[in-house]
Structure 1
Amino acid sequence: MHSSAREHLSDFQAFIESSPSSYHAAAEVARQLEAAGFTRLDERQPWQRAHGGQFIVRDGAVIAWLVPDTVNQLTGFRIVGSHTDSPGFKLKPHPTSSTHGWQQAGVEVFGGPLLNSWLDRDLGLAGRLTTFDGQTHLVRTGAWLRIPQLAPHLDRSVNDNLHLDKQQHLHPVWAVDSDTDLQTMLCEQAGIDPDELAFCEVLTYATERPGLLGAHEQFFAAGRMDNLSSVHASLVALKDAALGDDIAVLAAFDHEEVGSSTRSGACGPILEDVLTRVAAGHDITGDGFRAMLARSTCISSDAGHAVHPNYAHMHDPGNRPVVNRGPLLKINANQRYATDAVGAALWKRACEAAEVPTQDFVSNNAVPCGSTIGPLTATRLGITVVDVGIPLLSMHSARELCGVDDPWYLSRALEAYWAGA
């Protein structure tokens, strides 16, 4: 592993540990941006002309931008899009229940987690609590929960035909012979009066620390790399960026795993709101703003799939990317990814400028292709978008696997893109 890749990976590990929920991820991005000299703006107030670095936080999303010294009729936006949320389980209202002496938590499946990977893991809770005065409070617990699997002695077919009913089989246990309410304990953890709690948005996360593995330490295992790998890579790149002529924009959306149709998701207006207001601060409005969008581009960065050696037949036979050989250029004929020829050329210029390898990913025709914020952004703004991301094994697992070099490669390529490659 290159020394810079090791340093990047160590920083990435700390970022993951600070980001057990999308709200924590947004807070951590904000903290690092402020430490780097960026100014936080309030969406509810008018904005002055943008100089240097600025950002906003909307719920679990962050939009940040870095303005060059000169903004004129040739300036465009260079956007890197990602998302802060990851699949898991979200607490239902009135989550506390008692069954046969056990206290369990009522949870709802969030996104598309690889369900069996969450069994028999130590789980914490993380998210935000809102009080009646409208204030939000981040909360995070240690290992409070576990979804226990049925022993094979009680189900001899479990290794042949595991079936998990989402309502019946995925209730975590968190106590025994207790009359304590789970939401009350969360309030105590957050330091608020339970009588003041109006609502909670809290999800599970696996508490096991990220770490290196492999005989030669070539692999890195952690939860939520889909898609904190891209959020972190873009954050590092933005802080280190030597700008070209365009305005650099980091767009870390929330709710990608559940369709993006929220006020902080890629289907919502958050990015367009920011771009409109930043341009207006430089007296670029109306037709001038539309021309500015036509000069703009976006790299949609979301984790992709490495070839699985035990299931190689599920991958395209001619395109089988491997970890540590560079981030993926993601391609789909039906535009589940937004990549086209112009965007692909843009990405390859960035990789060449950064001296970073890249690999192509395309789905097997018999396997449905997932999607990203890329097509949503292209549709909403009408700009050129290319889809990329680091290759993973076990995507949507409670613990995913990547190569140790690929997060660093991705960050370097994004930095080159923002520099004008």
Structure 2
Amino acid sequence: MTDKTTDLNQQLIEFIQSSPTPFHAVKTMSEKLKAAGFQQLVEKDGWSLEAGAKYFVTRNDSSIIAFRYGEKPLAENGIRMLGAHTDSPCLKVKPNPDLNRHGYWQLGVETYGGVLLNPWFDRELSIAGRVSVVDVDGKLHHRLIDFCAPIAMVPSLAIHLDKEANSKRNINAQTHLPVVLDLVDGNDAGEFRSLLAHRVAAEYAELGQLELLEYELSLYDVNPGRIYGLNQAFVAAARLDNLLSCFVGLQALIEADDGQSMLLVCNDHEEVGSASAAGAQGTMLKDFLTRLIGDDEAMIRTLQQSMMISVDNAHAIHPNFASKHDDNHGPQINQGPVIKINANQRYASNSETQAIFKAVCAKQSIPLQSFVVRSDMGCGSTIGPITATEIGVKTLDIGVPTLGMHSIRETAGTKDTDYLTASLKGFLELSETAV
């Protein structure tokens, strides 16, 4: 592995470590964009967008659009678009979470998205997210919070008390997943909202006396990502699906050459269907394009000159479960990006968009792979088909091969981070004649 590849993957690990929730991911991306000269827009304000400038806008603090405005007319040249999502499957703290049982202070949790539950046991967990508070003057504030330290765990039941644990144990999300936060002494019951209010007051002392109103909080594994393997072939971290795509998309957008109009959208709520104001099925991207382009005819002309690449991790073939893959479509780690194809439009790729991307990769000698789910299995989906449906742009679905998807810790290939960055940068720089 080259020094450049090592550095890029270390940056990825740092990005993920600073982004335990979608709110934190958007904050991290916003800081990187500001450092790269992007100007922040606010949706409730009036806009005056100028060719040659760089902008970004957020919604719900958990979704973001970054845009580089090229000099060439949009209706003639279109926009090169990248899409990803900021959310990952996890455990979320319930509104009234306190459980004081048998001397333990526990918190009740909900499962968010398609969580692979077994790996959440016996992990050092912390809590992060967004809180809403009101100060003594009645002013409402929304702030991010992160306990950072390991403060919770979901302990396993010892095998001595469940002899069939390795063959028949099922996980009940209601009864088996409440996290242990502390011990309680006698009648002293723990109260999470009080704990959280004290934490917020300490972290935001400049706001003065505060009253906690509400929160959206997630649990996460505090253990940082690692590069591993005898030859450092792998990168393991939480939330690679899909913060790896957010990170690489952002790198490509910032590093791409000027000239072409290009855009990155990272939506929240993909893991639960995208049906929200901040999700891909919401109006955020359409609203942005409407304010950018204007009338209906210009919008249609621009979109017909444009293309979107939806970037979301793909399933690498698992050496212990190879039968779960179609024999001819088992992507391998460090063998390049994966084009995701589904006849029933669970992925938006078609022959036209595949050909365009293949031409981009061939020009840079970047290897490519294809994924098609077994014909006797169901298929997941991405923001690709939703975005294509909502705005009418031709779309391709791709991703890097990943093991352990939706686990608390996932694995991807260190070379694939490089391959994906180069391929997306090449796509963003495509001339008007190429799409």
TM-score, scaled relative to structure 2: 0.93
Name which of structure 1's ranges 88-97 and 19-28 shifts more when overlaid on structure 2: 88-97
Count of paired positions: 416
2:296 to 283, 286, 290: 286
CA RMSD of aligned residues (A): 1.4
CA distance in 2, matches of 1:70, 1:298: 18
Residue 273, structure 1, aligned to residue 287, structure 2: yes
CA distance in 1, matches of 2:58, 2:257: 24
CA distance in 1, matches of 2:42, 2:227: 39
Name the counterpart of 2:306: 296
Give the drift of 1:397.
0.3
Deviations 1:48-73 (A, max 9, x none): 02342100011200001001123254
Name the counterpart of 2:226: 211
Give the drift of 1:194.
8.5
Deviations 1:120-167 (A, max 9, x none): 111111110012443211011121110111000000000111200110
Q: Structure 2: which 5+ runs fail to align?
A: none
CA distance in 2, matches of 1:248, 1:160: 51
1:264 to 278, 293, 305: 278
SS in 1 for 2:83: strand
Query: Contact 2:6–2:414 (CA<8 Å) still a contact in 1?
Result: yes
SS in 1 for 2:275: coil
Give the drift of 1:188.
2.7
CA distance in 2, matches of 1:366, 1:2: 41
Query: Contact 2:74–2:302 (CA<8 Å) still a contact in 1?
Result: no
1:137 to 138, 143, 157: 143
Give the drift of 1:318.
1.0
Name which of structure 1's ranges 84-93 and 188-197 shifts more when overlaid on structure 2: 188-197
Give the drift of 1:355.
2.8
Deviations 1:338-395 (A, max 9, x none): 0000110122122223332111111111221100000000110111000001110000
1:414 to 412, 419, 424: 424
Name the counterpart of 2:123: 121
CA distance in 2, matches of 1:293, 1:124: 43
Residue 237, structure 1, aligned to residue 252, structure 2: yes
CA distance in 2, matches of 1:325, 1:333: 24
Query: Contact 1:230–1:303 (CA<8 Å) still a contact in 2?
Result: yes
Letter in 1 for 2:21: S
Residue identity (%): 38
Give the drift of 1:223.
0.3
CA distance in 2, matches of 1:304, 1:358: 12
CA distance in 2, matches of 1:266, 1:204: 24
CA distance in 2, matches of 1:354, 1:15: 26
Name the counterpart of 1:43: 43
Give the drift of 1:320.
1.3
Letter in 2 for 1:47: W
CA distance in 2, matches of 1:232, 1:4: 16
CA distance in 2, matches of 1:68, 1:50: 9
Name the counterpart of 1:255: 269
CA distance in 2, matches of 1:49, 1:256: 29
SS in 2 for 1:203: strand
Deviations 1:74-93 (A, max 9, x none): 12111100000000011111
CA distance in 2, matches of 1:350, 1:174: 51
Name the counterpart of 1:100: 102
